[in-house]
Chain A
Amino acid sequence: MVKPLDGLVVLEFSQFMAGPTAGLRLADLGARVIKIERPVKGEAGRQIAIRNIFVDGSSLVFHTINRNKESYAADLKDPEDLERVKKLIAQADVMTHNFRPGVMEKIGLDYQAVQAINPSIIYGVVTGYGSEGPWATRPGQDLLIQSLSGLTYLTDTHDAGPVPFGLAVADIMCGAHFVQGILAALIKRNKTKKSVLVEVSLLESVLDLQFEVITTHLNDGRKLPQRSKNKGAGHAYLSAPYGIYRTADAYLVLAMGNLHKIGQALDVDLSDYASRESWFEQRDEIMDKLALKLETKTTAEWLAILEPLDIWCSEILTYAQSLHHDAFEAMGVKQNVILPDGQELSTTRCPIRIDHNRLFSPVAAPRPGQQTEIINQQFNLTGA
């Protein structure tokens, strides 16, 4: 199929996670994404591993984020390499970087300089905290951003202290917003034929992730979130029964719904909680009552009672169960990429479907500089 971004060339100077996840999405949507990397060592993210797992010389995380891309090796401090990179920029549609403020100015590839090379480029910048203010030079790292943003007071119980989201959500959201900004900029460019600057930051993105609850905070007399005392409670701002409960053999999840209908279905007397307000104000008490009852039957028994009544509930699955489930298989979320030695690596595919097509690509992450020669030829970078 012809993918929506077919024909676009993206140069990725970005490293680590936020910028490169944006590059991955653009690649899956059809763009040709070329990483500009230091010779031999490549981008710093190649050395950042989770569970210490390395594949083909780079961390498994790097492979996850950088599949479906090419790599062009260039030392930006070497004048000849820089000259080639500038020739490449002249032919690109988009370039992205996440250097700290000042670095690209020193190299001579800041937005102003690049506009002179390519007056219709989309120039994308990722920072930790924006380019102004006292935090601009602090390290833009996911856990630090979560900790500064207030996000850690939303998960788990009220006596748990600050609890981070257990994934790099600031990086992930920021990368996702970066994609939106770059695509919107391409739409603008196609109208004006002029270059566009796109800027995102990890902190703004993780604040945007909290937009519903921060808006509530700004308008409720600035109360802070009140987490439930119940382990498994799902959301500091939602009423009972929202959360995870133990059953006789495992767990049961109850989302929002009419509490009286749920009480009846479970045979728990909740008549003391007549008003909807009380479902929030007395949620800990209500959850205790539900918890006591739910321990008496197995998850399957409860689901058999609740699901036919259209009560929003489910079991809890682990990867071992979920990733082999028929529902997962039916959606074809898994895909394999092929490493240089012929081995295959399994990962997930792009979550967006276009014109009934799932977007797959068997292309694995490149080795540092793997496509340097061919890119030199195709873009005529070494000729006089």
Chain B
Amino acid sequence: MKPLEDYLVVDFSQFLSGPSAGLRLADLGARVIKIERPETGDICRHLYTSNVIMNGESSVFHAINRNKESFTADLKNEADRQQVWELVKKADVVMHNYRPGVMERLGFDYESIKAVNPEVVYGEISGYGDVGPWKDKPGQDLLLQSLTGLTWLSGNDGGPVPMGLSIIDMLAGTHLAQGILACLVRRSVKGEGALVQVSMLESAYDLQFEAVTTYYYDGLLPQRTEKNNAHAYLGAPYGIYKTADGYMALAMGSIPQLAQLLKCNALLPYTEVAQAFHQRDEIKAILADHLQSDTTESWLSVLQPADIWCAEVFNWDTLMQQDGFKALNMVQEVQMQDGYQYQTTRCPIRIDGELLTSAKGSPALGQDTDKILQEIKN
């Protein structure tokens, strides 16, 4: 039995943040119904990445919306609205990611739904919260990275470098799922509903909670290393280094011990622990130079037996050939209603020793509308 079996989620959200939360709830066992506009649907259906089209729609849409149903409704049409009302009355969870004020205008805001469904757990994601000067700004991932200081942490010292994924969107979705689940825990004891709100702004700072707390403490901005930067706040050797045949990652480790293991005499003078942080640029330059003299495998064969934290650097091709990757069974195959099959990843959580997989692919726009209308009538 999956934990959320028998739970119904009615999801008005689109793009990535809200729908990624819906995906998690679906994988945990809930029935998730996407409410989509007729004809266009979730805009993400046609938001292509690297021009990849799968069965007529974007690869990203298929990744985010598998294991869900699709119900089309025009929220400005009275007949459609009545149908949606029937659905939200039955829902355990309702969620959306419209900008502040939009759901109030559409009439499906928390107060209105609570009036007919007092135990509902209602989740919403905004870009910047519902107060303050940015509340009407577009809540877009790269803009959030840029406005919250995140672009000064990755890459080497120099200009701003974004993290190469829509990480704030995903985190906001993750936090929304947490809040919804926490309130479902309470509901399962006390029968109370709840309003859960997250914003990309709060999620972006939460991601940076260590760095922000450090800034509050010493007032200093993050300082990336000149080369081989991996974390603006950590000392040498923390970073990725080029070797004779590829790259290797080197996390924590005492410099004198590394000097000895790697037979790198130039590192011997750095005997004080504090030097590993204060003179990290020098130390990293010496290491970077030295590590190019031999292969990754040869370095790892010296360092790993000595319990130094180090690793190979893989791309997806080399990763997927590893037995360590295969042992995870992380890839699953899903099938759409029309028979189209595709591969994707599974939920990263295991419950009672079982993988949370589902063979159900993403829904074609409105594919479940008739079936759901029948259910509403009965």
Interfacial residues, chain A to chain B (CB-CB below 8 A)? 4-5, 8, 25, 29-30, 48, 50-53, 55, 60-61, 63-65, 129-130, 132-136, 138-139, 141-144, 146-150, 152-156, 160-169, 172-174, 176-177, 179-181, 183-188, 190-192, 196-201, 203-205, 207-220, 222-227, 231-232, 234-238, 242-244, 246, 251, 253, 255-256, 276-277, 280-281, 310, 312-320, 322-323, 326-331, 333-334, 345-348, 350-356
The yes or no answer to B108 lying at the interface (CB within 8 A) is no
Within the complex, which residue of A197, A208, A256 is in contact with B351, where a contact is CB–CB below 8 Å?
A197
Contact with A along B8-36 (1 / 0, CB 8 A): 00000000100000001000110000000
Identify 27 residue pairs between A and B in the complex whose beta-carbon atoms are under 8 Å apart, listed by A's number.
Answer: A4-B185, A134-B324, A134-B327, A135-B327, A143-B238, A156-B161, A163-B154, A166-B231, A167-B210, A169-B167, A176-B174, A180-B24, A197-B351, A212-B165, A215-B345, A216-B59, A216-B63, A223-B50, A232-B160, A237-B50, A316-B151, A317-B146, A319-B221, A347-B212, A351-B206, A352-B182, A353-B198
Contact segment of B75-83, B99-107, B133-141: B133-141
A207 B344 Cβ-Cβ under 8 A: no
Give the shortest distance, in Å, between B83 (CB) and chain A (any CB): 28
Cβ contacts under 8 Å, B3 to chain A: 184-185, 187-188, 196
Cβ contacts under 8 Å, A173 to chain B: 174
Cβ contacts under 8 Å, B147 to chain A: 314-317, 322, 327
A313 B274 Cβ-Cβ under 8 A: no
Interface SS, B side: mixed
Contact with A along B329-366 (1 / 0, CB 8 A): 01100000000001111011111110000000000000
The yes or no answer to B1 lying at the interface (CB within 8 A) is yes
The yes or no answer to B113 lying at the interface (CB within 8 A) is no
B159 A251 Cβ-Cβ under 8 A: yes
Cβ contacts under 8 Å, A354 to chain B: 179, 182-183, 194-197
Number of A-B contacts (CB under 8 A): 470
- In addition to A164-B249, A167-B211, A181-B351, 11 A-B residue pairs with Cβ atoms within 8 Å of each other are A130-B328, A177-B348, A186-B188, A200-B349, A210-B345, A213-B165, A216-B52, A237-B49, A280-B51, A331-B202, A333-B202
Cβ contacts under 8 Å, B314 to chain A: 147-150
A197 B216 Cβ-Cβ under 8 A: no
Known: A29-B182, A166-B229, A180-B178. A317 touches B148 (CB 8 A): yes
Q: Which of B120-165 contact A (CB under 8 A)?
A: 128-129, 131-134, 137-138, 140-143, 145-149, 151-155, 158-165
* Shortest Cβ distance from A64 into B: residue: B213
Known: A53-B218, A224-B316. A139 touches B309 (CB 8 A): yes
Give the shortest distance, in Å, between A10 (CB) and chain B (any CB): 12
The yes or no answer to B230 lying at the interface (CB within 8 A) is yes
B344 A144 Cβ-Cβ under 8 A: no
Q: Which of B193-250 contact A (CB under 8 A)?
A: 194-199, 201-203, 205-218, 220-222, 224, 229-235, 238-240, 242, 247-249
- Shortest beta-carbon contacts, A-B, top 10: A133-B327, A330-B132, A166-B153, A154-B164, A135-B324, A50-B233, A183-B181, A215-B63, A237-B49, A147-B249
* Shortest Cβ distance from A129 into B: residue: B324
Docked Cα-Cα span, A253 to B160, in Å, equals 10
Known: A318-B149, A319-B221. A4 touches B50 (CB 8 A): no
Within the complex, which residue of B52, B189, B345 is in contact with A208, where a contact is CB–CB below 8 Å?
B345
Give the shortest distance, in Å, between B183 (CB) and chain A (any CB): 5
Greatest chain A CB density within 10 A among B179, B218, B234 is at B179
The yes or no answer to B88 lying at the interface (CB within 8 A) is no
Give the shortest distance, in Å, between B341 (CB) and chain A (any CB): 10
The yes or no answer to B370 lying at the interface (CB within 8 A) is no
B164 A243 Cβ-Cβ under 8 A: no
Cβ contacts under 8 Å, A8 to chain B: 185
Cβ contacts under 8 Å, A50 to chain B: 210, 214, 231, 233-234
Docked Cα-Cα span, A29 to B181, in Å, equals 11
B138 A143 Cβ-Cβ under 8 A: no
A255 B142 Cβ-Cβ under 8 A: yes
* Shortest Cβ distance from B180 into A: residue: A183
Cβ contacts under 8 Å, A207 to chain B: 328, 330, 345, 348
Cβ contacts under 8 Å, B208 to chain A: 167, 348
Cβ contacts under 8 Å, B184 to chain A: 183, 187
Docked Cα-Cα span, A213 to B122, in Å, equals 29
Cβ contacts under 8 Å, B131 to chain A: 330-331
Within the complex, which residue of A191, A323, A346 is in contact with B188, where a contact is CB–CB below 8 Å?
A191
The yes or no answer to B4 lying at the interface (CB within 8 A) is yes
Cβ contacts under 8 Å, A152 to chain B: 240, 313
Cβ contacts under 8 Å, B312 to chain A: 147-148
A133 B242 Cβ-Cβ under 8 A: no
B251 A144 Cβ-Cβ under 8 A: yes
* Shortest Cβ distance from B330 into A: residue: A207
B143 A313 Cβ-Cβ under 8 A: yes
Within the complex, which residue of A166, A172, A243 is in contact with B230, where a contact is CB–CB below 8 Å?
A166
B349 A197 Cβ-Cβ under 8 A: no
The yes or no answer to B290 lying at the interface (CB within 8 A) is no
B349 A226 Cβ-Cβ under 8 A: no
